[in-house]
Structure formats: C-alpha cells, structure tokens
Chains A and B, each alone.
Chain A
C-alpha cells in the first residue's frame, strides 16, 4: 500500500539555523507528494507539492523540498528557521484520485 514515513517525531532547531525534515514514501508509480504544516489549534496548510518536472520545488514561507526517486525521499528544507515556524509538519502522498495519505508528522520546536 502507498504510504509515507516520517522518521523523526520531534526535532529541535535553533532560531536562524537550517532545517531538514525527512520523508520517505512507498509508491509504485510516479508519486504526487506534499508537505503540509499544522500550527497549534489550526487546520493543515499546504506548503508545497511535487507532481513532476523539476525535482526541487519551492513553497510558501521560504520552504523547499527535493524529490529523490533513487532514495524514495521528499525532504523538506529551510535555510533559516524562524520562531514562527514551530508547528507540526506532515508529508503526504496522493495514491489515487483526489485522496491523500499522510505521514505521522514531525513536530518542530524552535529554540531561541
């Protein structure tokens, strides 16, 4: 079955430091991949998506992600983290028409 794995439950990063959140997917065909962010008490917001083409995709809030087929990965990055980035981040794959399967999430903590 199609799935995504986020191996890190929690990550703590100092403000201003770079960030990389890991995501590995399991999918037979070309996957549609996504990163969503959930701030406390809020719904999910789409950060970026990959459908095809350039493997480095840019998203909102200064985030980017790189699709690596050889590693079945779609890691999220940001060069300099701000305190407002503290949230939970979800990787997701679209295995079928209009459906999403989410990973378990990574909670990002930003230290001063």
Chain B
C-alpha cells in the first residue's frame, strides 16, 4: 500500500485566497483525521471522520475551516479565506477499526506545508 497520500506537499498563497488540501487514506481504513502542527500550539486534532461522517470537529479553529469526505478514499480540508496565522503543516492520518477496539494505530501522511503571505 502507498500509505496516506497528501497533496500538495507545499502550498504558498496570499492572504484572502482559498486553499484546499487533499488526502487519500489507506485503502480499507474507516477513520480519517486532520491535524495541524505549529511551533506555538504543537500538533492539534482538527476533525475526524468515521465512515465518511464527521464525528468530532471541535478542533476546527473557526468557520473559515471546513472539511469534507465525499467517499472512503478522499477528503479535503478547505480554508476560505486564508490568513497568515493559518501557516502550518497539516497532516492527514487514517486508521482501521478491528473488533471495536478503543484505539487503532493511526498512519500519518507526509503533510502539507502551508504558507499564507
């Protein structure tokens, strides 16, 4: 398996522009997570999905952020409009359930480094 795939790897945009980050989870995984990593706040969970349904979006910073998962093999994180403080590395991770376990290993993608000028 190719692992979790994220695109683009780097994105530079200007303040006010719309930004869309993409993620393809590992085939067969039914959980998908979006994280943001910054120097100031570390690694934060933004939102996660189970079977394409958003389960917890309490980490989404504000209404400018939205995430969708239209099918089991694709998810997007959109920022509109973008601001300089959104500059960060955004990670996508996926995991598969087994027997209703409380936790299953999350596999991370390489991340998208976003710079908002």
Contact = CB atoms under 8 A, between A and B. Distances in A.
Interface of A: 32, 41-46, 49, 51, 90, 94, 97-105
B108 A99 contact: no
Contacts, number: 47
Interface size on B, as a range, is 20 to 34
B42 A99 contact: no
B59 to A, nearest CB: 10
A62 B103 CA distance: 23
A90 to B, nearest CB: 7
Interface of B: 4, 31, 33, 42-43, 45, 48, 50, 56, 91, 93, 95, 97, 102-106, 108-111
Given A43-B109, A43-B111, A98 B104 contact: yes
B108 A43 contact: yes
A96 to B, nearest CB: 8
A103 B37 CA distance: 12
Given A99-B45, A102-B42, A103-B42, A94 B110 contact: no
14 contacts: A41-B110, A43-B4, A44-B93, A44-B108, A45-B108, A94-B102, A94-B103, A98-B48, A98-B50, A98-B104, A100-B33, A100-B106, A101-B45, A104-B42
A97 B102 contact: yes
B78 to A, nearest CB: 21
Chain B interface, DSSP helix/strand/loop, else mixed = strand
Nearest to B41: A104
A90 B31 CA distance: 21
Nearest to A105: B42
B105 A46 contact: yes
